[in-house]
Structure 1
Amino acid sequence: MPIRTASARWQGNLTEGSGTIRTGKGGLEGNYSFKSRFEEGEGTNPEELIGAAHAGCFSMAFSKLLAEAGATPTSVETTAKVHLDKTDAGMTVTRIELDTVGQVPGIDEAEFRKLADAAKQNCPISRLLSPGAEITLDARLSS
């Protein structure tokens, strides 16, 4: 399997500085700052990138499980809300809320939810993050 890379460059001190984040092949690149991370400033932040990675990984894993169950999805759309909170240990990602909507012909709600939960438990990014953060899932079947 290939090894994936990403890079970041930061200039200046924590509150006044700024930086850029870039994926290895340049598919994603964004500016980040103290304000974009801890306030409501423009730019991205590491937590958004974790959320994007988690939503993407979950969507792919869920699509695979659906297809293996004989219900190939038309679409799976997932949002990840990453909570960064101050704890006794410092700033910590404490919770990630996955919210997914799938358009999947030929499946009932119970099977859809069962497979969504299996994808949440087993996608590589969930397995990476779940020891340290609570991961919740709201899965809805779209018509």
Structure 2
Amino acid sequence: MAADKHASVHWEGAGKTGKGLISTETGALKDYPYGFASRFEDDKRGTNPEEILGAAHAGCLTMAFAFALEGAGLTATSIDTKAAVRLAKDGPGFKIDRIQLELEAVVPGIDDAKFQQLAQGAKEGCPLSKALASVPEISFKATLKS
């Protein structure tokens, strides 16, 4: 079942003034722009590696939780997950020093204790959570909605 997933980047120019294009094999991102301004400033005309990482982590966690519910004989009406990834100065460079995950779900027939148990297990078992274990702080909040 193991399969490589592919993405590519094309970059032209220097670090601060250059521009890049990110693409994924599925076409979800096709020559999508990114650069210094969309990564380190507040330019919304492009993406950045940190928001893509956050989207991937939120997607992985959400799917892991859906599978955990299924394994418990439950199905969510809805699951909404947000991720915030912080890029912080680290000496002469930068590092990701924090990821905040928030999952909210409507799950008929579950109590909060079971919900929290399944949500925490999904967070710990998600492949991206495992891959990102070196991030110093990964916070997680799960909220059962009615």
TM-score computed with the length of structure 1 as normaliser: 0.95
Amino acid paired to 1:130: A
5+ residue gaps, structure 2: none
Q: Distance in 2 between matches of 1:101 and 1:141?
A: 6
Number of the residue aligned with 1:24 = 25
- Provide the secondary structure at the position in 2 that maps to 1:3: coil
Number of the residue aligned with 1:34 = 36
Q: Is the 8 A contact 2:87 2:94 kept in 1?
A: yes
Amino acid paired to 1:117: Q
Aligned-residue identity in percent? 47
Greater alpha carbon shift after TM alignment, 63-72 vs 120-129: 63-72
Runs of 4+ off more than 3 Å: none
Q: Is the 8 A contact 2:99 2:135 kept in 1?
A: no
Number of the residue aligned with 1:59 = 62
RMSD, aligned α-carbons: 1.2
Number of the residue aligned with 2:78 = 75
Greater alpha carbon shift after TM alignment, 25-34 vs 58-67: 25-34
Amino acid paired to 2:87: L
Number of the residue aligned with 1:3 = 4
Q: Deviations over 1:112-136 (max 9, x none)?
A: 1111111111100000001234211
